[in-house]
Amino acid sequence: MTVYGLHKSPLSPQISKFIAEEFGGTYDEATAVAEIPGSTGWRWRLEYLTLVDDFRLSVRLPQRKNWKVLSEAVNEDDLFSWPSNIFEIMSYLCEAPKSILDEEFYWPMTLSKLLAPSHKPIRLFLEELENRY
């Protein structure tokens, strides 16, 4: 993944199959866009912007037509607090937003803060955590 990102590569068919089987998502190699389902009807979109690891993260909430861009030109290290790869990010997104509200589930705070303006339960949860600690 560090050579091509999600752009078209010799591995594109296998990547598409893996995303479908592992995450229930889709991958369009022509546009370098992966879409995966999250919890409670949310859908996530990761769109690669450059050759290696910058991407746009978008979310589509249930019963909404349009995608909401959460972050432009972010890379994996910006979004998560440890070295990661795109498939780890997808595994987290598959559980979101439900997993964010679970204190037992480790969730990178950067992503939670990106979601807070769009999702009141996450915003209230983060406020509670800040007050508690």
The pLDDT of residue 89 = 79
In tens, the pLDDT along 8-62 reads 677 778 888 999 999 999 998 888 889 999 988 999 998 876 655 577 888 898 8
Tell me how far CA of residue 8 lies from CA of 11, 29, 89, in angstroms.
Answer: 8, 5, 19
The whole-number pLDDT of residue 18 equals 93
pLDDT score of 61: 86
Q: 129: which 2 tokens?
A: 């955590």
pLDDT at position 126 is: 78
pTM summary value: 0.76
Higher pLDDT among residues 109 and 10, named by residue = 10
How long a stretch of residues is the chain?
133
